[in-house]
Amino acid sequence: MSDAPKNEECERLSLADAASTLLDECRMVLPGIQALFGFQLVAVFNQRFAEDLSHADQLLHLVAITLVAIAVALVMTPASYHRHRGARVVTDTFIHVSSLILVSSMLPLAAGLCIDLYLIAKLIADNDAAGAPLAAALFAFMAFCWFVFPRLVAVHDWVMRHRAKPGEG
């Protein structure tokens, strides 16, 4: 991660604080993903699931459920990794590896969400082609928000130049 611009206030976290922040981030995201997973599981027992989705679409939903389950496992991995590597020891490697794992969880989550959005749009519009553009647009948006935007230093610099300074309305 790059250093903050010279005119931006910045504070380096200790390894312990960085680990605590990372694990808190995992804890914050997990309930939402688990709720989504629950809704995906319940959908299978809905009468419309069996009646209105072809066998291929039902298999696609199974793929979406699997991808979200993978995302759950990845989000939970840093806590397990921390426990197994030494709960009272925090290293820079732990922070780096766990951050990569957390970020990598976003890809199967996005894919699972988009597959189910495709299926829902297909059901609502009663049209096979209706969901694909919507799902692709959502995937592109999530990829931008989660992978591109955080790396856009120019946007960050522009925001820092144009934000209100403390004490200025």
Q: What is the pLDDT of residues 12-23, one digit of tens each?
A: 888 778 777 778
Nearest residue to 71 via CA among 38, 119, 30: 30
* For residue 164, pLDDT beyond 70: no
Q: What is the pLDDT of residues 85-112, one digit of tens each?
A: 776 778 888 888 888 999 999 999 999 9
Does pTM surpass 0.85? no
The full set of domain ranges for the chain reads: 15-162
- 72: CB partners within 8 A, 6+ apart: 30, 33, 34, 37
Please report the pLDDT score of residue 19 as a whole number. 78
Q: Is-contact 160 152, C-beta < 8 A?
A: no
